[in-house]
Structure 1
Amino acid sequence: MTKTMRLLATASGLAVAALAATPAWADGTTAGLSITNTVTLNYKVGGVDQAAVTATDSFTVDRKVNLVVAEVGSSTTTVSPGQTSAVTAFTVTNSSNAALDFSLAATQLSGGTAAHGGTDNFNVSNVRIYADTNDNGSFDAGTDTLITYLDQVAADATKRVFVVVDVPLGRSTGDVAGVRLTATAAEANAAGSVGAAVTQTSGANTADMDTVFADSNTNGNTARDGIHFADDDYTVASASLVVTKSSRIVSDPLNGTTQPKMIPGAVVEYCVAVANAAGSATATNIAISDTLPTATTFVSAFGILVNGTVTGSTCNADGTAGGAHASGVVTATLSDIAAGVTRTALFRVTVN
Structure 2
Amino acid sequence: MDNFFSTIIYSASNEDSLSELKALQLTSQDTVLTITGSGARALDLLIDGPKKIISIDMNKRQNFLLHLKIQAYQQLEYCEFKAFLGLDDCDDRLAIYDQLKNGLTSDAKQYWDNESDKIQKGVLYCGVWESYLLKLSWLTKFRASTIEQLFNAATLEEQSNIWNNQWDGFFWQQFIKILNVRWIWKYLLKEPGIDLIDKKLHIGRYIHDRLTHVVGHQSVKKNPFLNLIIFGKYNDDCLPLHLQACHFDTIKQSVEKIETVTQPIDEYLNENPDSIDAFSISDFSSYANKQQYQSIWRSVMLGAKKGARICERFFLVNYQPEKIEGVNIKRNVELEQKLLDQDHSFIYSFNCAKIEQDTEHN
Q: What range is the shorter-chain TM-score in?
A: under 0.3
Q: Identify the structure with bigger relative contact order (alpha carbons < 8 Å, sequence gap 6+).
A: 2
By percentage of residues, which structure has more helix?
2
Q: Which has the larger radius of gyration?
A: 1
TM-score, scaled to structure 1 = 0.20
